[in-house]
Structures are given as structure tokens and as C-alpha cells.
């Protein structure tokens, strides 16, 4: 078997979809299928069930995933050591980021990094906080970027400036005309939320708990797997949501969304790296570009929801 076959196998095992895996690998679907078939033929074991148009991992496939990931991580580490011998004139940096960060925050940072170090190849995979944490822990990513709190003893965490959550609804929502809201009023609204495991949802629910409210009491009409799907459903009148101001900005500007009068604390994003794995010069250079003191980050993220303060009249 080859490293390329292992790379393709892991991509398909994560996506459980040949086309999506091919897109992520920048390969054709036929090339991905051929690589998987060659790997299965070389080891004489079926790694995937073909169930209609779906694929599922076999028992052998499940057992092989961590072994393949470990081999790829070791190969990447060896490549990183050699790249470091040539300074920052060559190398590769594998990153994984949650949706809000990848789509709205990370791009300008990576653009600055590329201008400084144009010969460092950058790859970015998008997942939710749980998936990003696992990728860094298993060595599939050199650095991970998440919105939610992460308690993982194997990972070191650095806080960086992030965003602010906002409560939004469609402009036609009956709540959009309200001048004041209390945190308890949110339990009267239908909500459209990201899936469990997303950083945005975790921070929102932590803020409710900090206000003495139980997130289980929310009327969740829809759970959707992307920020864009959430915003689209909210704009169509499916309910309110709490989402990053970076995500809501376009809808607020065009008037399809209306920000409701409850404020949330500014929150930090977190950069994750494995505490025991080799930390490449490229990773150190990216961290130097974005690092800021983490003091107060946890307290800010867990601060309660509040009503906006009214301005004093003169």
C-alpha cells in the first residue's frame, strides 16, 4: 500500500461519500474509487460496504482508520522535520477549523501568512468543534481553530480575539418589533440552531446557564449543520437564532435579518495544538502572527446574556 492510498482511504472514511472526499482531495471521483479498490485488493479485505448509493465502513474499515491516520501523521511529522531544516522556505501546514472561523475569520489571517511565507503550503479542513479537537488530538491537523471551550488534556490551548454572538430573527418576526427583551423571553421563541457539538451552540448554551436558564427549555424548531443553512431558515421565518456577528453581518446589512435587543459578551476563539507532538516552525510562525494573551477569555465566553444598556439622556 502507498501513502496516497492511505490518504484517500482516510478522506473517504471521514466523509463516507466518494464525491465529497474527491472534492476535498482535488481528485476525480473515479480516481478516488480506483485508489480505494486497489487498497482493498492489496490487503484482501473489504473496507467499505456499498449500500445502494451510500457507503459504510466495514468492521475491518473501522479498525483500519486509526492505524492509517497514525501512519499519515508520522509521515507528515517526518516531512515537517525535513522542511524545518530549510527554514520557512518550504513545508506544509495542515489546519482544521470550525465553520464560523474558517468561513469568516481565518481567511485574512492565512492571506497575511501566505504573503510572509509564500512557499509554505496551507491546507484547511472544516469541521465542528468536536471534529477539530479530534483531528488535532490524532495528528491529522497541526493546529485547530475552535469557538467552543475544549477540555482535552493532550492539547494546549491559546485564546485569540474572536467575535460576538447576536440574537437575530427575520425582519417580519413579531419579536423584531420589540424594543426590550429579557433572557427569559427567548423561551417564547422558536429557535433554529446549529447541531450539538458546534462551538456557537455551546457558547450560547453556556451563556444561558450563566444567566440561570436551562437550554433544554428552548423551543428548537430546526437543527441545521451549517451557518448558512441556519441564516437562510431564519430569514425565511423559521425562528430566531443566536449566531456570530460575522455570519449575521450580510443579512443585517440587507435587512433580511433583524438584531433583537439582547447582548452577548465578546468571545475568544481558541487555537489548539497537541502538547506532545513536534511543533513546526511554520506552526510557530502562524501562532506568532495571531497570538494574544488569553487572560479573561474563559470568563468572557461564560458571561451571562444581558439587555443592552440605554443611553443616558442629556
Q: In sequence order, what are the beta bridge partners of 173?
A: none
| E-assigned strand segments in 206-248 | 219-224, 241-244
Answer for the pair 203, 267: CB distance below 8 angstroms, yes or no: yes
d(CA 227, CA 199) in angstroms, rounded, equals: 11
Q: What is the pLDDT of residues 137-178, one digit of tens each?
A: 988 899 999 987 788 899 999 988 889 999 999 999 988 888
Task: Report the candidate in 122, 123, 105, 103 with the shortest Cα–Cα distance to residue 113.
Answer: 122
The torsion of the CA quartet 255, 259, 265, 270, rounded to 10 degrees, works out to -40
- Residue 85 pLDDT: 58
Task: Report the candidate in 67, 5, 77, 78 with the shortest Cα–Cα distance to residue 40.
Answer: 5
Answer for the pair 83, 112: CB distance below 8 angstroms, yes or no: no
What pTM, to 2 d.p., does this model score? Answer: 0.61
Q: What is the pLDDT of residues 65-84, one digit of tens each?
A: 999 998 998 888 787 777 66
d(CA 256, CA 63) in angstroms, rounded, equals: 48
Answer for the pair 65, 114: CB distance below 8 angstroms, yes or no: no
Answer for the pair 96, 271: CB distance below 8 angstroms, yes or no: no
Task: Report the candidate in 110, 156, 101 with the shortest Cα–Cα distance to residue 133.
Answer: 156
The torsion of the CA quartet 153, 155, 158, 162, rounded to 10 degrees, works out to -100
197 membership: H or E segment, kind and range: none
What residue has cell string 481565518? 106
Q: What is the pLDDT of residues 9-68, one digit of tens each?
A: 999 999 999 998 998 888 999 999 999 999 999 989 999 998 887 899 999 999 999 999
Rounded to the nearest 5 percent, the helix, strand and coil shares of the chain are 45, 25, 30
Amino acid at each position: 500500500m502507498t501513502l496516497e492510498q492511505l490518504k484517500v482511504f482516510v478522506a473517504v472514511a471521514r466523509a463516507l461519500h466518494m464525491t465529497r472526499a474527491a472534492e476535498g482531495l482535488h481528485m476525480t471521483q473515479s480516481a478516488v474509487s480506483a485508489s480505494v479498490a486497489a487498497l482493498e485488493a492489496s490487503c484482501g479485505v473489504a473496507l467499505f460496504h456499498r449500500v445502494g448509493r451510500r457507503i459504510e465502513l466495514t468492521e475491518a474499515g473501522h479498525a483500519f482508520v486509526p492505524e492509517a491516520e497514525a501512519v499519515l501523521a508520522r509521515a507528515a511529522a517526518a516531512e515537517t522535520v525535513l522542511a524545518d531544516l530549510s527554514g520557512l522556505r518550504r513545508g506544509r501546514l495542515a489546519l482544521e477549523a470550525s465553520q464560523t472561523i474558517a468561513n469568516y475569520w481565518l481567511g485574512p489571517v492565512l492571506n497575511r501568512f501566505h504573503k510572509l511565507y509564500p512557499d509554505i503550503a496551507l491546507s484547511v479542513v472544516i469541521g465542528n468543534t468536536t471534529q477539530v479537537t479530534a483531528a488535532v488530538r490524532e495528528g491529522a491537523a497541526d493546529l485547530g481553530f475552535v469557538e467552543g471551550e475544549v477540555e482535552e488534556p493532550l492539547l494546549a490551548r491559546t485564546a485569540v480575539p474572536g467575535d460576538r454572538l447576536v440574537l437575530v430573527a427575520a425582519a417580519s418576526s413579531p419579536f423584531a418589533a420589540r424594543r426590550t427583551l429579557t433572557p427569559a423571553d427567548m423561551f417564547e421563541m422558536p429557535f433554529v440552531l446549529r447541531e450539538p457539538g458546534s462551538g456557537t451552540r455551546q457558547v450560547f448554551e453556556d451563556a444561558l446557564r450563566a444567566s440561570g436558564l436551562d437550554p433544554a427549555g428552548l423551543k428548537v424548531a430546526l437543527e441545521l449543520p451549517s451557518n448558512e443553512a441556519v441564516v437562510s431558515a431564519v430569514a425565511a421565518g423559521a425562528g430566531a437564532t443566536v449566531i456570530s456577528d460575522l455570519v449575521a453581518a450580510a443579512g443585517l446589512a440587507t435587512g433580511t435579518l433583524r438584531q433583537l435587543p439582547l447582548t452577548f459578551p465578546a468571545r475568544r476563539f481558541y487555537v489548539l495544538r497537541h502538547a506532545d507532538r513536534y511543533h513546526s516552525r511554520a506552526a510557530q510562525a502562524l501562532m506568532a502572527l495571531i497570538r494574544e494573551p488569553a487572560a479573561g477569555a474563559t470568563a468572557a465566553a461564560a458571561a451571562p446574556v444581558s439587555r443592552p444598556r440605554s443611553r443616558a439622556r442629556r
